[in-house]
C-alpha cells in the first residue's frame, strides 16, 4: 500500500491505496464520486475524462499514485450552490444528451477545449477536438451545438 494526497474538487483528500488503483477507481470507489464513468476501460471512449492540474486526461489510463499532489476536478466539481456550470447548462438547453453516460466526459473535454481554443468554436474544431469522446446515442449533432453554446456562455460568466 502507498499513501496519496491530492485535492479533489477543492477538498484535500488522502488515502492508503494499492499502487494498481486507477484514478477513476480512486474517484469512484474511495471518494464515491460516481459521476466519472467507465465506458470502455481501454482508453478510447472518454467517459472517464477529468481535469488534472487543469488538463483533460483519461482517468482510466492514469494511476492515482501519479496524481499525488495534483489538483483534480470532476463533473461533481463544476456546479456551485446549485447553479450548473454554463457548459452543463448548455448541454441541458440544447438536448446534448440522451442516456447521459458519455456526458460527464463530454463536458469535461468541452471545458478543456474552451480553455485551449477560446470561446468562438466552429463546428469543424469541435468535432475534431471531440475525437477522444464517443457517444452511442445522440449522433453528436446536439453535442456540437451544446459545446458551441457553452463556450459562448463561459465567456459571459467570467
Partner 1 sequence: MYAFAYQRPTTVRQVQSALGKHEDAKILAGGQTLLPTMKQRLASPSAVIDLGHVAGLSGIEKKGRNIVIGAMARHAEVATSEVVREAIPALAALAGGIGDPAVRNRGTIGGSVANNDPSADYPAALLALGATIVTNKRKIAADDFFQGMFTTALEEGEIITKVSFPVPAKAAYVKFPNPASRYAMVGVFVSKKGSDVKVAVTGASNEGVFRAAGLEAALKGKFNPKAVEGVAVDGSNFIADIHGSADYRANLVSVMTKRAVTKALGK
Ligand X SMILES: Cc1cc2nc3c(=O)[nH]c(=O)nc-3n(C[C@H](O)[C@H](O)[C@H](O)COP(=O)(O)OP(=O)(O)OC[C@H]3O[C@@H](n4cnc5c(N)ncnc54)[C@H](O)[C@@H]3O)c2cc1C
Residues forming contacts to partner 1 in the complex (CB under 8 A) are 2, 18-20, 22, 41-44, 46, 49, 55-58, 61-63, 65-66, 68, 109, 112-113, 116, 129, 131-133
Would the CA dihedral through 11, 16, 22, 26 be positive or negative? negative
Rounded Cα distance, 45 and 24, in Å: 14
> Quick one: cell of 76?
461533481
Does 110 contact ligand FES by CB under 6 A? no
What is the contact surface with ligand X in residues (CB under 6 A)? 43-44
Which of residues 113 and 144 has its CB atom nearest to partner 1 in the complex?
Answer: 113
Question: Is 19 strand, coil or helix?
Answer: coil
Of these, 4, 6, 17, 48, which contacts ligand FES (CB under 6 A)? 48
**R_g over Cα of the chain:** 15
* Residue 38 contacts residue 24 (beta carbons within 8 Å): yes
Q: Which is nearer to ligand FES, 41 or 128 (CB)?
A: 41
For residue 74, count other CB atoms closer than 10 A to its CB. 24
Task: Provide, rounded to whole angstroms, the least separation between the CB of residue 147 and ligand FES.
Answer: 13
Contacts with ligand FES, residue ranges (CB under 6 A): 38-41, 43-48, 58, 60, 97-102, 135-138
Amino acid at each position: 500500500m502507498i499513501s496519496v494526497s491530492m485535492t479533489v474538487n477543492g477538498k484535500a483528500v488522502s488515502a492508503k491505496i494499492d499502487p494498481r488503483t486507477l484514478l477513476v477507481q480512486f474517484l469512484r470507489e474511495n471518494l464515491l464520486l460516481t459521476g466519472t464513468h467507465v465506458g470502455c476501460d481501454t482508453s478510447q471512449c472518454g467517459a472517464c475524462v477529468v481535469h488534472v492540474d487543469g488538463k483533460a486526461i483519461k482517468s482510466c489510463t492514469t494511476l492515482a499514485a501519479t496524481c499525488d499532489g495534483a489538483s483534480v476536478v470532476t463533473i461533481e466539481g463544476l456546479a456551485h450552490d446549485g447553479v450548473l456550470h454554463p457548459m452543463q447548462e448548455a448541454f441541458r438547453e440544447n438536448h446534448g444528451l440522451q442516456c447521459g453516460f458519455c456526458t460527464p466526459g463530454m463536458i469535461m473535454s468541452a471545458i478543456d477545449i474552451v480553455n485551449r481554443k477560446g470561446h468562438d468554436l466552429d463546428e469543424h474544431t469541435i468535432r475534431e477536438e471531440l475525437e477522444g469522446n464517443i457517444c452511442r446515442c445522440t449522433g453528436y449533432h446536439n453535442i456540437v451545438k451544446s459545446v458551441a453554446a457553452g463556450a459562448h456562455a463561459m465567456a459571459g460568466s467570467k
